[in-house]
A and B are shown apart, each in its own frame.
Chain A
Amino acid sequence: MREIERPFEIVYEGRTVKVAEHELKNMRVFYIDFAGWKKPLTITVALNRFDEKFWTSVPEGRQKEAEELGKLIAGYIRNKRKESNA
């Protein structure tokens, strides 16, 4: 079973934002709390018609932020795994 990430922080547009992972409807969901300077955002990884993964906001409408924050979250998780394997 995949372990759900503990809540963590990343830096986005020069500010620290809080990220909490959840599993809903069998999908990995990240809730991003901007501490008031933006509306909270929920993003997930979906598959396009070519079976390629892409980050998307849920609900639709904040795709640019979803992609930017998704990359940062993926980077955070990747680095954390590298460090724990080192």
Chain B
Amino acid sequence: MCYYNGQKVTRAEFIQLKQLEKAIRNYNFLDKGVISGFSDVLVAVLVPNDAKDNFDIVQMEWGMLPVYLQNRDAVQKFRTGYKDAQGKWHTGYTTQNAKAENLFVSERGGASMFADAARKRRCLVLSTGFFEWRHVTRNHKKTGLPLKTADKYPYYINVKDAPYFYMAGIWQPWTDKETGEHVNTLAITTTEANSLMAQVHNSKMRMPTILNDDLAWEWLMEDLTDERIQEIAATQFAADKMDACTITKEFQALVDPTEPFEYEDLPALELSIIS
């Protein structure tokens, strides 16, 4: 007979509780309602185990880092941009997302920084839902002309009847050459927005690649050609299987950031065209 917290429990229950302890030790994001790509919070990621017959849950930093970056200072410059000694501005790179169509060829037509990861290190990001901003441009009351700045409204988007779902990701190990800090960094692949996401994320018309169970398994476990990798990454999850609702603009500070919030002046989404 085993004891757990002073209670007599069966051996099977004891083992299960000990396994749970281990899982909890490996997580430090249990209190995070919102995981932002612009914070240092790690995200839960599924990777194949060595035998490729099951997956392991690990944590990664969101925002893929090229191996050539020497240290965190270089990472900061890479992400936010910087002015060099001659005063020349170098634009930063956003690598939280990798477009499906740019996994192997960059937007400029050169080699993609994502290619190696797409071929060798694919993963799944476990998600309960995600946030996007809808842009609404209003007209000036007097002139009737469109205002320069659009109003932005946040939406919470999730998959109907699914407490968790998978987003396709690719990852890259990175080591700080000065401190020896080692971290795995990831990018979530994106595809063209479906009819729901085209209305919500109307500034970029993109959405994360959401995979059903079969495609998730194939993405994670199978040896795939470049064409198949790109094909899966471009999967457009069906709009009618997704929900989107407005939330408060202060959602990141809330206990429950997914709580619906109505905006009186916001035109409703056109749901009749969703299929």
B residues with CB within 8 A of A = 1, 4-10, 13, 16-17, 19-21, 23-25, 27, 30-31, 33, 128, 161, 163, 255-256, 258-259
In contact, A6 and B256 (Cβ under 8 angstroms): yes
Selected A-B contacts with CB under 8 Å, 24 pairs: A1-B163, A4-B128, A6-B256, A7-B33, A7-B256, A9-B255, A18-B255, A20-B30, A23-B163, A25-B16, A31-B30, A33-B31, A40-B31, A44-B20, A46-B7, A48-B7, A49-B8, A54-B7, A56-B4, A56-B7, A58-B21, A58-B24, A60-B4, A60-B5
Cβ–Cβ < 8 Å partners of A8 in chain B: 255-256
Nearest CB in chain B: distance from A15 CB, A: 14
CA–CA, A23 to B21, complex, Å? 13
A residues within 8 A CB of B24?
24, 29, 42, 58-59
- Interface status of A3 (Cβ within 8 A of chain B): yes
Question: For chain A, which range describes its interface: under 10, 10 to 19, 20 to 34, or 35 or more residues?
Answer: 20 to 34
A44 CB contacts on chain B under 8 angstroms: 17, 20
Nearest B residue to A52 via CB reads: B7
Residues on B with beta carbons closer than 8 Å to the beta carbon of A60: 4-5
Contact with B along A4-22 (1 / 0, CB 8 A): 1011110000000010101
Which A residues lie within 8 Å of B33 (CB)? Answer: 7, 20
* B5 CB contact (under 8 Å) in A4, A31, A66: A66
Q: Are B20 and A27 in contact (CB under 8 A)?
A: yes
One of B4, B5, B7, B30 near A22 (C-beta < 8 A): B30
Set of chain B residues within 8 Å of A56, measured between Cβ atoms: 4-5, 7, 17
Judged by DSSP, the binding face of A is: strand
Q: Which of A19-78 contact B (CB under 8 A)?
A: 20, 22-25, 27, 29, 31, 33, 40, 42, 44, 46-49, 54, 56-61, 63, 66
A46 to B147, CA, bound (A): 58
Distance to closest chain B CB from A73 (angstroms): 14
Tell me, rounded to whole Å, the shortest Cβ–Cβ distance linking A45 to chain B: 11
Q: How near does chain A come to B174, taking the closest CB pair, in angstroms? A: 27
Instruction: For the complex, give the distance between the alpha carbons of A63 and B17 in Å.
Output: 14
Q: Is the CB of A48 within 8 A of B9?
A: yes
Instruction: Give the distance in Å from the alpha carbon of A3 to the alpha carbon of B158 in the complex.
Output: 14
Query: Which residue of chain A has the shortest Cβ distance to B6 in the bound complex?
Result: A63
Name B22's closest neighbour in chain A (CB-CB). Answer: A25
Which chain A residues border B17 with CB–CB below 8 Å? 44, 46, 56, 58
Q: Please give the distance in Å from B45's CB to the nearest CB on chain A.
A: 15
The interface residues of chain B lying within 8 Å CB-to-CB of A40 are 31
A45-B8 Cα distance, complex, nearest whole Å = 14
Q: Do the beta carbons of A20 and B21 come within 8 Å of each other?
A: no
Most buried by B among A24, A29, A63: A24
Besides A56-B5, A63-B6, 18 other CB < 8 A contacts?
A1-B161, A1-B163, A23-B163, A44-B20, A46-B9, A46-B13, A46-B16, A47-B13, A48-B8, A48-B9, A48-B13, A49-B1, A49-B9, A54-B7, A56-B7, A58-B21, A61-B5, A63-B5
Within 8 Å CB of A25, what residues of B? 16, 19-20, 23
Shortest B48–chain A CB gap in Å is: 19
